[in-house]
Amino acid sequence: MASEGLRELQKLKEKTEFIFALAGNPNVGKSTIFNRITGMGVMTANYPGMTVGLNLAVTELGKRKIGIVDLPGTYALDGISEDQVVARRGVLEGRPDVVIVILDANNLVRNLYLLLQFLDLGFPVVAALNLVDQAEAAGIHTDAEALSDILGVPVVPTIGVKGKGLDELMKKALHVAEHREDYPVIPFRYGADIEDRVERLSSVVGGELQELPYGLGPRAVALLLLEGDREFEELVAGLPNGGRVLEAAVGMRKELLELRGEEAPLVMARERYGIAGSIAAGVQRRREVDSIPFGERLWRASTSAAYGFPLLLTVLSAFFLVIFWGGGKLSELVAEAWASWLGGPLEEFLANVLGDGFLARSLLWAVEGVGAVLDIAFPYILLFYLLLALLEDSGYLNSLAFLSDRFLHRLGLHGRAVIPILSAAGCNVPAVMGTRVLSNRRERVIASFLIVLVPCSARLAVIMGGLGEFAGFGWVILLLLVQAGLVVTSGLLLNRYLPGESTGLVMEMFTFRAPSLRTVLVKTWQRVREFMILAAPFILVGSFLLGILYESGWAGKMEAPMGPLVKGWLGLPTAAGLALLFGFLRKEMALSLLLVFAAMTTPGVKEDSALVEFMTRQQIFVFALVNSIYIPCVATFAVLVRELGWRSALVISASTVVLALLVGGAARWAFTLSGGL
């Protein structure tokens, strides 16, 4: 049975005339170029067991429909990490007509390695020499024509953030696709000892195998077997006469080991890097620059011990100040617009059609759920992702990853994990999805657990609207410090006891650049849209279910069973337990639910009462603390299931519930013993 990824690639082929694949490392501006040439209509293709996916899109060039496959950002195709596996499957199964390899003009050697691998596989290649403006400013000039002559492929200088050179790039790619015979793939020749064994093994492959994996040529298969590629060894082993081919490959690897004193995969990697270095040396010239560009000076400051951490504190403080202040203002505007234009008329329509019965009242909860998405979640999410895109496009997130790498390594992660963890403050749903940038499942499990503990915008709204308003800002700081301590402690424990090891940080550092407004807006829209598509249905359905439970009276019946735990252990009114329980369906409504249930169960309390009328400041603190720790919402649980599977999602969720109860109870008894509760 074909995988989902292969099925989506086949559908893309049916709708288009040619397929172009975009390849390159994560920091070379590939996503910017993809967004520039495709717009915003993007589909996703996933492979079973893989959390890294392909982005697919259709664009038009003249009157031709072109399918674009955006491969995961990777430095190589060795099949070691998931991004490499998916990138390689994307080209092997998708069989693109052209592979567009994005090269960084600032670090040509590192980027040419991937291009050489595509040539070894026999794919037609067009190279985009990106970031040429930054390279020139740094005194690095690349002769694109000379590079094209050496590689035997078209090379087009580009500035992705400005869209320069992209039209020419697409025209070149289309010309190569239309005239494949004029652009034969010329594989690079390795050292004589390597070539001798590649040719001998190619003869064995061509002579023994009637059908080659993925339709590759004998030389490509021979190179992969010489490198000891496990996937291709398994594929060849299942073919008639495959055993003879594998036996020959083992013999060739032994010969190389005796000659070079190193294993064949390492020998091949050194050879490719050597070729890449020779090419770069032949086409690049460096000159002294009169002054260090401002972007580079700022980058150096951002990664230094003396200035990096004060700058980080300043940036993060401004970041969250803008979100909370701007999000609040925007929330007021959206709430007013919703009530006037949609919410009010929709409620009136339901009342006219269904009257005031059980179904109508339950549906009103769903209407309020839509309003909550728009006037509570949407404003904060929008601002958060707008600022995140600015930091990302400027290059500052790379500096943040570098600064945080040593600390995060103690938590079983590396510096790139700081991006999804930071994103969690906006919404846990896309943050969990963002763990796909990490190298292995162990890291994704640790990161996902820590993400769930980071207060999202909905929980922060509860903290600020409840604890901040009625207890004071000092209590908010205390709660956030407790939360930060839990994140750090949990990471240390998971790193110590979870089987496996974390990987090191391997990433290119580049100087700061002016963000592209278009790219920032496209990224923001895509992320907000992803949140709305994923989270909004769960909030809507959760609101409806909550309405059914409340209007039917079943919600109130759960008060008594929760008494010993909520009142006895946490020291809270039983209404708080109901609010915490049903907050799983609507986390941002925890405060309003608390008032609703308090009015239902406590004499003298109304739905518009202040919290301090029936709870002390310490009780409000315990309520907000428990609410901010346990699994945030049904949408987050759903994405945990999708990314990690049912078992991991249930373990993470149950662990956060237990942790919330333990920490909440500890806080309650600490207040009690000190005479404060």
Of 108-112, 116-120, 369-373, the least confident: 369-373
Residue 29, by phi and psi: left (phi above 0), alpha (psi -120 to 50) or beta? left
Predicted pLDDT at 282:
93
Give 57-62's long-range contacts (Cβ < 8 A, gap of 24+).
58/12, 58/15, 58/16, 61/170, 61/171, 61/174, 62/174
Q: How confident is the model at residue 503 (pLDDT cuts 50, 70, 90)?
A: low
**Each residue of 265-306: pLDDT tens digit?**
899 989 999 999 999 999 999 887 666 677 777 777 877 878
Give 604-611's long-range contacts (Cβ < 8 A, gap of 24+).
610/470, 611/466, 611/470
Tokens of 137: 């400013």
Residue 319, by phi and psi: left (phi above 0), alpha (psi -120 to 50) or beta? alpha
**Each residue of 73-106: pLDDT tens digit?**
888 888 666 778 888 888 998 899 999 999 999 8
For residue 5, what are the contacts with CB-CB under 8 A and spacing of at least 6? 45, 46, 47, 50, 53, 54, 86, 89, 90, 93
Of 180-194, 514-528, 636-650, the least confident: 514-528
Q: How confident is the model at residue 601 (pLDDT cuts 50, 70, 90)?
A: low
pLDDT at 112 over 90: yes
According to DSSP, the residues that pair with 67 across neighbouring strands are 19, 58
**Each residue of 329-356: pLDDT tens digit?**
887 787 788 777 877 777 777 777 777 7
SS3 (DSSP) at 210:
coil
**Each residue of 397-412: pLDDT tens digit?**
778 878 888 888 889 8
Percent of the chain whose pLDDT exceeds 70? 87
**Each residue of 35-73: pLDDT tens digit?**
888 865 555 444 444 446 778 888 888 888 999 998 888
Q: Which one has a higher pLDDT value, 171 or 584?
A: 171
Predicted pLDDT at 676:
61
Predicted pLDDT at 118:
94
Give dist(CA 615, CA 617) in Å, integer: 7
According to DSSP, the residues that pair with 18 across neighbouring strands are 66
Mean pLDDT of 245-274: 91
Q: Which one has a higher pLDDT value, 126 or 331?
A: 126
For residue 191, what are the contacts with CB-CB under 8 A and spacing of at least 6? 271
Mean pLDDT of 1-23: 79
Predicted pLDDT at 46:
44
- Helices (H), ranges, 227-377: 230-237, 242-260, 264-283, 294-302, 305-337, 344-354, 358-372
Give dist(CA 89, CA 83) in Å, integer: 10
